[in-house]
Amino acid sequence: MEEKIKQAAERARTVTPENAGELEQFRIDFLGRKGIITGLFDDFRKLPPEEKKHYGKKLNELKSYVQEKISETGRLISAKDEYSDGPDMTLPARQLQLGSRHPISIVRKEIIDIFSRIGFTISEGPEIEDDWHVFSALNFPPEHPARDMQDTFFISRMPDILLRTHTSSVQVRVMEKTTPPIRTISPGRVFRNEAISARSHCIFHQIEGLYVDENVSFADLKQTLEYFARELFGEDTRIRLRPSFFPFTEPSGEMDVSCRCGGQGCRLCKYTGWLEVLGCGMVDPNVLGECHIDPEKYTGFAFGMGIERIALLKYDIKDIRLYFENDIRFLRQFSGTV
């Protein structure tokens, strides 16, 4: 028995199939119904019990070796056949088309870079939020329409859990955990229960900014926004601030930038010479108090803008739905844009 196993092992080592046909014959010779290893196992059954442990181990080792050799040789033959039937590697390579960044990503990065240069850090938070961080901590009264289901996506069976409607919730989390001075921007995706049209969508992206410190004034807010507008839209850009109202800021305002038409009036600015860009204001003392910041010692300003709207104005895009359709013809227009 010992000699038969040695002879079979030697033959298995010396035979090397060169193609699929030879490999199949090798398998039949060793593992077929009338193969070498099958015959050895037949002889094994006739051995006395005290010898079976010794020879059983050797037979199993031989069988495992043959099976591994068949698998490895099969992979080598397949790779060889694939290479021989493959493309001519001497031919010149096809020129690949370079992709492009999405306009939302382009504008988002540009805005972040502008505020990073003046000391703002980036903060991020969850898209699924609770009522406290989205509404209550931001001075929204219980009867505010934003809390209605026709304006906000609430999670089924969980009335206090919702998809955030703005990234101000991130600012609340930062104020809860950070001692002023705080200077941060919060980019992210937000959700509102709105009809989808050329000018609005139920999903969009925002960047909101927050600065809290001692002696922060509205003049600091105006100076920051003026710097931002000139960096984003050009050195000749002018801004104007109009009174407005937001529950979390007092006083509140909306910022317009001068249109590229130079005030002459065009379709983009609806012949007013101005383009609405963002909302802003001084952080309401109630909001500071809810976030455990002393409103007697600290003041702050906040602002927020929709990235889609900024991109619409910057690139004169006429339909906000183009951002979500992944139309390659639309995206190719931004090839080469940093």
- Each residue's pLDDT, cut to its tens digit, for the chain (338 residues) gives 777 777 878 888 888 888 888 888 888 887 788 888 888 777 777 778 777 777 778 778 878 888 888 888 888 877 766 555 556 667 777 777 777 788 999 999 999 999 999 999 999 999 999 999 999 999 888 777 766 656 788 887 777 899 999 999 999 999 999 999 999 999 999 998 888 887 778 899 999 999 999 999 999 999 999 999 999 998 989 999 999 999 999 999 999 999 877 767 777 777 888 889 999 999 999 999 999 999 999 999 999 999 998 988 888 888 888 888 888 888 888 875 65
CA distance 177 to 174: 5
Buried b (16+ CB within 10 A) or exposed e, 123-150: bebeeebbbebbbbbbbbeeeeeebeee
- CATH number for the domain that contains residue 128: 3.30.930.10
Same structural domain, 128 and 169 = yes
Same structural domain, 139 and 19 = no
Same structural domain, 139 and 35 = no
Please compute Rg for the chain using Cα positions.
Answer: 35
Residue 14's nearest CA partner among 24, 26, 25, 4 is 26
Return the number of other C-beta atoms located less than 10 Å from residue 115's C-beta. Answer: 22
- Range of 149's domain? 103-334
Same structural domain, 13 and 138 = no
Residue written as token pair 């060169």: 18
Residue written as token pair 């639309």: 330
Same structural domain, 233 and 330 = yes
Same structural domain, 190 and 73 = no
> What is the token pair recorded at 236?
């000749």
For the question of whether the overall pTM of this predicted structure is more than 0.85, the answer is no
Same structural domain, 310 and 198 = yes
Same structural domain, 116 and 233 = yes
Same structural domain, 64 and 161 = no
**Which residues are within 8 A (CB) of 124 and not within 5 positions of it... i.e. 6 or more apart?**
170, 186, 187, 188
Domain boundary among 55, 84, 113: 84
Number of structural domains in the chain: 2
